[in-house]
């Protein structure tokens, strides 16, 4: 069995699976992955602890499934956002707005994606990274399509925008600028170089 195969959660069909994932996402987001026990998840989901293993072989497998559902939600929102945006900068604006709206709605799944990094769990790092890359690859493609100055590194621009956007969970306060406003402010800074004046 390959490493990738070992890191794929063995999901079994059951109509309680969504409730189980929602409970796990809530606890991973609020308490933290390592602080959450399978018994905690069982209590919240209304299942017996042993029943969880009918769906997932381990807590890491359950986290991977939560991650996958969170990334699927991001990708769905992304694809809908850019459906009508044709010009490169308009597409990136739509992408950033969708990303900010997802990050700032404070859903449990979005918080897990920000809080739990692939390197935190060596046993499933490869699979978690693959999921993140599937989403970030969409953003990379939107940035690569921009008419950037030759001296601008598109990868560094992606790191800059994503890092700042993801950190907004920490500093954002509702009632001021909307997620869409913030996204547009970010793009305005990127598109217009800051010129220093000696005078």
**Is residue 136 assigned to a domain?**
yes
**Is residue 128 assigned to a domain?**
yes
* C-alpha closest to that of 134 among 67, 56, 179: 67
* Integer Cα distance of 138 and 76 in angstroms: 11
Contact 40, 61 (CB under 8 A): no
Q: Is 111 helix (H, G, I), strand (E, B) or coil?
A: helix
pLDDT score, position 12 = 44
Residue 168 has pLDDT above 50, yes or no: yes
Mean pLDDT lowest for which of 40-54, 124-138, 183-197?
183-197
**Is residue 12 assigned to a domain?**
no
Contact 106, 169 (CB under 8 A): yes
Question: What DSSP letter does each residue of 13-76 carry, written as one string?
Answer: --TTHHHHHHHHHHHHHHT-TTT--HHHHHHHHT--HHHHHHH-SSHHHHHHHHHHHHHHHHHH
**Is residue 100 assigned to a domain?**
yes
Contact 175, 114 (CB under 8 A): no
**Is residue 43 assigned to a domain?**
no
**Is residue 10 assigned to a domain?**
no
Domain extent for 70: 60-191
**Is residue 24 assigned to a domain?**
no
- Condensed to tens digits (0 to 9), the pLDDT of residues 94-140 reads 989 988 888 887 789 988 988 888 888 899 999 999 998 988 888 99
Contact 137, 144 (CB under 8 A): no
Number of domains, the chain: 1
**Is residue 16 assigned to a domain?**
no
- Residue 136, domain CATH: 1.10.357.10
């Amino acid at each position: 069995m390959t490493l990738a195969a070992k890191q794929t959660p063995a999901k079994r069909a059951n109509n309680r699976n969504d409730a189980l994932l929602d409970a796990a996402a809530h606890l991973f987001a609020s308490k933290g992955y390592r602080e959450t026990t399978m018994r905690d998840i069982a209590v919240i989901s209304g299942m017996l602890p042993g029943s969880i293993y009918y769906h997932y072989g381990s807590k890491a497998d359950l986290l991977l499934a939560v991650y996958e559902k969170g990334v699927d939600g991001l990708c769905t929102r992304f694809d809908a956002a850019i459906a009508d945006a044709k010009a490169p900068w308009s597409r990136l604006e739509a992408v950033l707005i969708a990303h900010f709206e997802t990050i700032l709605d404070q859903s449990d799944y979005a918080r897990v994606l920000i809080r739990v990094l692939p390197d935190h769990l060596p046993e499933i790092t490869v699979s978690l990274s693959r999921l993140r890359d599937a989403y970030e690859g969409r953003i990379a493609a939107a940035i690569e399509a921009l008419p950037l100055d030759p001296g601008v590194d598109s990868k560094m621009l992606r790191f800059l925008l994503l890092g700042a956007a993801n950190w907004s969970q920490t500093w954002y306060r509702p009632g001021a600028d909307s997620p869409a406003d913030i996204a547009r402010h970010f793009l305005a800074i990127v598109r217009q170089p800051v010129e220093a004046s000696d005078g």
